[in-house]
Chain A
């Protein structure tokens, strides 16, 4: 399978790899996928007092497109409000990375990971 240049770039130079402390009050963690399906994505956001996402981290087990999708969204969520971030659509990710149809589920996983991270943060602050 041929990959787009953007997938290769994110795959070779992934942005924002790593982990925040899950227990930190300002951190929201989303973990989606399952090893049996061949993909697991962990996405974390760090949210400022003003409700703006200051920083993000990810770790992904999955194909190159899954790694690229998660790397891309860590960049996109920074500077966004929680609801804006949760509004990111998989189609935007797939379009940006020129993902072929068989790789669309990798972008869906990234969308789900953001939603899960936002959800986790909101739960901590109810």
Chain B
């Protein structure tokens, strides 16, 4: 029997985005060409058909996260959901207080929105995480004040895949009467999300991290106890006034189908991906001086973020150009600053520069993992032969004692 041929590049960047599942694409197509009505048109069958699709999708999203379909607002993606949740709640509740709390390792969609709120006169506390990437609940408790109106914590981190204790944080916030927003862009289809039991008031979702199309997402806005928001998008009053704009029926149908499939397949898929991830890690760990970034246990099985000491991340990405991965190295970003997430874990700059994020997904195969591990070992060895730091390390020099010529 011959092995299935590998096709290149091997995609291990599922946290950046996922391919649309072919079943999802099939579901979407009729809403472009056939059932093209405006879901807000009440006067004819084309409109009703589109509305039906939108509501079916809403039910499917609600079923995955166990909320009421009426608690979901369609948006253009998690970035918009986060903006609506944070700005909308801050503006609505500002007479109660002007303090918000979040975490340094959040996605830019949250951090940048918080910065904007600071410009509008709110005060924001950015909490540190431990070396494992996790938020310490005592530290959170210490940061909550009488005038705190909202806390925002991500479910799953996009760079290191660690899972925060959303249940415990929710209890703490609810007890103190503080609204709790959770960015779940990276959690759907990977973690059980039960909004019946979680004390979460607002939760942001994205379709394109869970095999749905780009450009669509949703915001959960709890009805009991009721959460109010100031709309950020004004117009025809769609989505109960929370978010105006004609609904993108095909995108929404795609998100609904993607989340329906996620619910059906999540358990088996996570199990399969965990085996692959562990195999990848075993293959990588045959090398010296490799460090996993973030807690390995409280983490989604899809993520492996590793630093290859003495090898710079961008040069490694260039060496493995037939494998699509991302790096925390400064050299891959325009800013020339290494990953702020890895820095927040207390990782040294050099380890942050040497990091690679592998994210596995629905279509990853064992053959791809074998190829990746073999290829990485060869390329890391080659780059270490090129590395003056590796040479010094092998000569027994402690690099932290070296006086570097600054530039």
> Which residues of chain A have a CB within 8 Å of any CB of chain B?
1, 3, 11, 14, 17, 19, 31-42, 59-64, 66-67, 102, 105, 108-109, 112, 116
Known: A11-B318, A38-B350, A63-B314. 13 other contacts (CB 8 A): A17-B385, A34-B405, A35-B349, A36-B353, A38-B330, A38-B336, A38-B338, A38-B349, A61-B311, A64-B318, A102-B334, A105-B336, A112-B405
Find chain A residues with CB under 8 A from B353 CB: 35-36, 38
Q: Does B406 contact A (CB under 8 A)?
A: yes
Cβ A37 vs Cβ B407 within 8 A? yes
How many Å lie between the Cα of A102 and that of B348 in the bound state?
23
Cβ B331 vs Cβ A31 within 8 A? no
28 contacts between A and B (CB under 8 A): A1-B332, A31-B388, A31-B405, A33-B405, A34-B404, A35-B399, A36-B348, A38-B331, A40-B389, A42-B388, A59-B387, A59-B391, A60-B387, A61-B310, A61-B312, A61-B386, A61-B390, A62-B312, A63-B314, A63-B329, A64-B315, A64-B318, A66-B312, A66-B315, A67-B315, A105-B407, A112-B407, A116-B405
Find chain B residues with CB under 8 A from A64 CB: 314-315, 318
How many Å lie between the Cα of A44 and that of B399 in the bound state?
20
Nearest-neighbour CB distance to chain A for B82, whole angstroms, equals 28
Find chain B residues with CB under 8 A from A19 CB: 391
Nearest-neighbour CB distance to chain B for A48, whole angstroms, equals 25
From the candidates A31, A60, A105, name the one contacting B386 in the complex (CB within 8 A).
Answer: A60
Cβ A33 vs Cβ B404 within 8 A? yes
How many Å lie between the Cα of A116 and that of B330 in the bound state?
25
Nearest B residue to A62 by beta-carbon distance? B312
Contact with A along B373-402 (1 / 0, CB 8 A): 000000000000111111100000001000
Nearest-neighbour CB distance to chain B for A101, whole angstroms, equals 10
Cβ A38 vs Cβ B405 within 8 A? no
Find chain A residues with CB under 8 A from B407 CB: 32-34, 37, 105, 108-109, 112
How many Å lie between the Cα of A100 and that of B391 in the bound state?
30
Nearest-neighbour CB distance to chain A for B362, whole angstroms, equals 28
Find chain A residues with CB under 8 A from B388 CB: 31, 40-42, 59-61
How many Å lie between the Cα of A64 and that of B311 in the bound state?
11
Nearest B residue to A32 by beta-carbon distance? B405
Cβ B350 vs Cβ A102 within 8 A? no
3 cross-chain pairs, A with B, having the tightest CB-CB distances, nearest first: A34-B404, A36-B349, A35-B350
Find chain B residues with CB under 8 A from A59 CB: 386-388, 391
How many Å lie between the Cα of A66 and that of B407 in the bound state?
14
Nearest B residue to A71 by beta-carbon distance? B386
Nearest A residue to B389 by beta-carbon distance? A61
From the candidates A14, A35, A105, A109, name the one contacting B389 in the complex (CB within 8 A).
Answer: A35
Find chain B residues with CB under 8 A from A37 CB: 330, 349, 407
Find chain A residues with CB under 8 A from B348 CB: 36
From the candidates B310, B336, B386, name the one contacting A102 in the complex (CB within 8 A).
Answer: B336
Nearest-neighbour CB distance to chain A for B7, whole angstroms, equals 22
Nearest A residue to B385 by beta-carbon distance? A17
Nearest B residue to A109 by beta-carbon distance? B407
Cβ B389 vs Cβ A62 within 8 A? no
Nearest-neighbour CB distance to chain B for A16, whole angstroms, equals 11
Nearest-neighbour CB distance to chain A for B334, whole angstroms, equals 6
Nearest-neighbour CB distance to chain A for B323, whole angstroms, equals 15
How many Å lie between the Cα of A104 and that of B386 in the bound state?
21
Nearest-neighbour CB distance to chain A for B256, whole angstroms, equals 37
Q: Which of B338, B350, B386, B391 has the most CB of A within 10 A?
A: B386
Nearest-neighbour CB distance to chain A for B344, whole angstroms, equals 16
How many Å lie between the Cα of A61 and that of B349 in the bound state?
13
Q: In the complex, which residues 64-89 of chain B have their Cβ closer than 8 Å to any Cβ of chain A?
A: none
Find chain B residues with CB under 8 A from A32 CB: 405, 407
Cβ B331 vs Cβ A62 within 8 A? yes
